[in-house]
Structure 1
């Protein structure tokens, strides 16, 4: 007989939290996350590497929208498409300790919410609870990654595809009206799933890379659908899979992560991105701006040295050839800023990648691991940049953490302007204001009404 009661204290804390009320200020934070992800998904659907796929792929019909298109498909296929689109432009929100939680939680389940005519407040609250749960799961999984990768180098390489079945499954189950028993079983099914890519080809930039997140969300929504029909999860997996985390973390830390659910709201430590590129490129970009390069052209720069944490050094590839590869290239992001004084969505399109002056400068950017920044990571993602000009001058900038961090948040006006740009990129300028208004009241209107404003008409 499969146990019907929690087998671990932390599991009990998860189920108790599933009905915890969300304070107004936390719901407001959740509304910002939902708006952020949905705007990112609209822009991602218009990316040249994915637009044809989302338009032409043969999916089952249904009443869940593929954002940024005129298509409606079944909810699981919508989860696949919307989550892949949400991460494509590398502009979606994230969390220093918990990865890119919002993309899967929001984009993965919005189709279920739309299909079930869920009101905005219910959807936002469900996303908040899943966000809180998944940031904690990712924090724990992050501690395991290094050890696992020593033994099996390809395992758990993609940050979008390990814990991300749980978030869309949990949110989808709530939006489908699951009772407490079904919600518990949905968690148990999803918590024993992981869609793991064997390699994260961010430097190569293969378009399939972004769909790994989509496959994970699709699996989560499917888990919720099957559990609603009577599928039971594994109680044993809760102990067998997750007990080892207690050994990896400090004594009592793993249980403490979940005991704090409902009292410590991690969503308050989210970040919003000002640039459409990997977060690891942002502190170098901000440091470059502080160094003062507005009067320089790429040909004026002899060398750029970037000192940062170890993970950030991985973003050192030069001359990227694809949208995704460029978004994960610190040399490209810095070279583009020197050339144009900004980094925009258009700068990752094929025409911009053909700019030889920018690509040439990427080869003069060097990344170095810095002990100070490595010790501060992942609490802070900082960088120092030294620019050497052809005149022999050096200019230095330094950032302890990037703009958009909860310690240096984007203003409401800046975030609104950024979201409008994303919506205009995907829907056209004429439709952007209506879509922006819909996102601004996402917790106050039915999800179907919000989504309708995010479709092509």
Structure 2
């Protein structure tokens, strides 16, 4: 059977009552993590400027709240901006098997539409799970390495499907309508990594447009428009064939309904590209186990997987960062920051902090290399080996197979709460929000209970 039809049937038939308890609890943690990451970015100057411009175009007092603001916009635009905020701080979750940032697409889509439709908390959680399961499987089907190495950003290319899946579930589309919505979502797949070369800030557009496109695809399907159900496998115009040399259609529906990919999501402890996190962990381990200073170091070599090298060690911006975007995608900078300061936090990505001479002195000694061993392990394991050569001729080495926050090196629910609290505090009573989200399946009307601005 056609993979899109199978996904549509899964979405239509999915019922939270049949979900294992650990899946339910994990889903609520994903919602909390994603919502907090977005709220934490709500007062960013770029975000505030975008909201101001959108307010000039869309005036809708009965719309959906932009998170962290007393501003309402029509549902598509609200989801668009909320998804943008979710990606801004680089703290959003990662499904490593598909290299997708799912929460920043699916959670805004589902929460905004659930409010628009007066859905229940149960309806909302069903939509979130459908979005995670569909988006992760489309991402895996692309063939992670080939898809990325062609320059595609899978959070957006697969994200349109995740958003459409969540929206279709909330709108209670038929199997046929859902299949058409997924087809229309796929024909809107987009998103390229060119922003790295220019140090552009447009990466946050990717989950935002994916969220909006997924919702609109469902609106159009409900209105009777048909989409290409053969979007993944068409003889002419196959999305997978166009975007990858190593795609695998079987992964789209493999173990669908029995294996929950939402259980395989990483929670990010550091506000930067996930591909830098193994290097950060290696720096913290070296700092903990050895008494060395930047002045003691002659050279640092970090061997990692090819994609991690390309994203965070190849470009001039990653080797010599000057802007927050470049620093967040710089393995040399984040490694040096961790070694010098013993932590990597949001405040360390201001332009003043980036120019710190102690960090600069150490980061200039860092070389990042692509290593076949780590490349072969990827995307199941996002690891690295760090070798520090000291001026006295001795060397130290540490290997990180899986970064902190991964499924193989997980953080606790309390860790997620501790991460969420200061982010939520930017705009809300954090304890109230955390309690609401972790009890969300009991909410009967999301339009009344989840206006978190109150």
The alpha-carbon distance between structure 1 residues 115 and 351, as it changes in their structure 2 partners (threshold 3 A), is farther
Shift of 1:238: 5.1
The alpha-carbon distance between structure 1 residues 237 and 398, as it changes in their structure 2 partners (threshold 3 A), is closer
Shift of 1:400: 0.9
TM-score by length of 2: 0.87
- After superposition, the C-alpha distances for 1:266-299 in whole angstroms (9 at most, x for unaligned) are 2221111111111101111112222235755544
Asked if the contact 1:373/1:383 (under 8 Å) is kept, the reply is yes
Aligned partners of 2:44 and 2:148: how far apart in 1?
36
- After superposition, the C-alpha distances for 1:360-413 in whole angstroms (9 at most, x for unaligned) are 322211112222211111111111112334555533221111111111110121
The alpha-carbon distance between structure 1 residues 263 and 351, as it changes in their structure 2 partners (threshold 3 A), is same
What's 1:27 paired with? 24
What's 2:87 paired with? 87
Aligned partners of 1:281 and 1:243: how far apart in 2?
28
Aligned residue for 1:126, secondary structure, equals: helix
Structure 1 position 232 matched with structure 2 position 233 = no
Alignment gaps of 5+ in structure 2: none
What's 1:308 paired with? 304
Aligned partners of 2:220 and 2:449: how far apart in 1?
27
Aligned partners of 1:258 and 1:335: how far apart in 2?
42
The alpha-carbon distance between structure 1 residues 108 and 20, as it changes in their structure 2 partners (threshold 3 A), is closer
Aligned partners of 1:394 and 1:239: how far apart in 2?
51
Asked if the contact 2:304/2:385 (under 8 Å) is kept, the reply is yes
Greater Cα shift, 440-449 or 277-286:
440-449
Asked if the contact 1:273/1:279 (under 8 Å) is kept, the reply is yes
What's 1:97 paired with? 97
Shift of 1:146: 4.9
Asked if the contact 2:145/2:307 (under 8 Å) is kept, the reply is no
Structure 1 position 443 matched with structure 2 position 438 = no
Asked if the contact 1:157/1:200 (under 8 Å) is kept, the reply is no
What's 1:327 paired with? 328
Asked if the contact 2:137/2:251 (under 8 Å) is kept, the reply is no
What aligned pairs does 1:22-61 form with structure 2 within 5 A after superposition? 22=16, 23=19, 24-57=21-54, 58-61=56-59
Asked if the contact 2:265/2:406 (under 8 Å) is kept, the reply is yes
What's 2:398 paired with? 397
Asked if the contact 2:4/2:179 (under 8 Å) is kept, the reply is no
Alignment gaps of 5+ in structure 1: 1-7, 150-155
C-alpha RMSD of the superposition: 2.6
The alpha-carbon distance between structure 1 residues 254 and 212, as it changes in their structure 2 partners (threshold 3 A), is closer
Aligned partners of 1:447 and 1:349: how far apart in 2?
37
Aligned partners of 1:361 and 1:193: how far apart in 2?
43
Greater Cα shift, 437-446 or 318-327:
437-446
The alpha-carbon distance between structure 1 residues 244 and 337, as it changes in their structure 2 partners (threshold 3 A), is closer
- After superposition, the C-alpha distances for 1:27-50 in whole angstroms (9 at most, x for unaligned) are 222212121111111112233443
Aligned partners of 1:275 and 1:222: how far apart in 2?
33
Asked if the contact 1:45/1:51 (under 8 Å) is kept, the reply is yes
What aligned pairs does 1:30-429 form with structure 2 within 5 A after superposition? 30-57=27-54, 58-62=56-60, 63-98=63-98, 99-142=100-143, 145-146=146-147, 149=150, 156-197=151-192, 199-202=193-196, 204-237=198-231, 239-240=233-234, 241=238, 244=241, 254-255=249-250, 257-292=252-287, 295-314=291-310, 315-316=312-313, 317-390=318-391, 392-424=393-425, 426-427=426-427
Aligned partners of 1:295 and 1:423: how far apart in 2?
36
Asked if the contact 1:59/1:74 (under 8 Å) is kept, the reply is no
Aligned partners of 2:240 and 2:362: how far apart in 1?
49
Asked if the contact 1:289/1:397 (under 8 Å) is kept, the reply is no
Shift of 1:301: 3.5
Shift of 1:143: 5.1
Asked if the contact 2:181/2:218 (under 8 Å) is kept, the reply is yes
Asked if the contact 2:31/2:107 (under 8 Å) is kept, the reply is yes
Aligned partners of 2:390 and 2:40: how far apart in 1?
36
Aligned partners of 1:406 and 1:358: how far apart in 2?
30
TM-score by length of 1: 0.87
Write out the 4+ residue segments of structure 1 that deviate beyond 6 Å after TM superposition. Answer: none
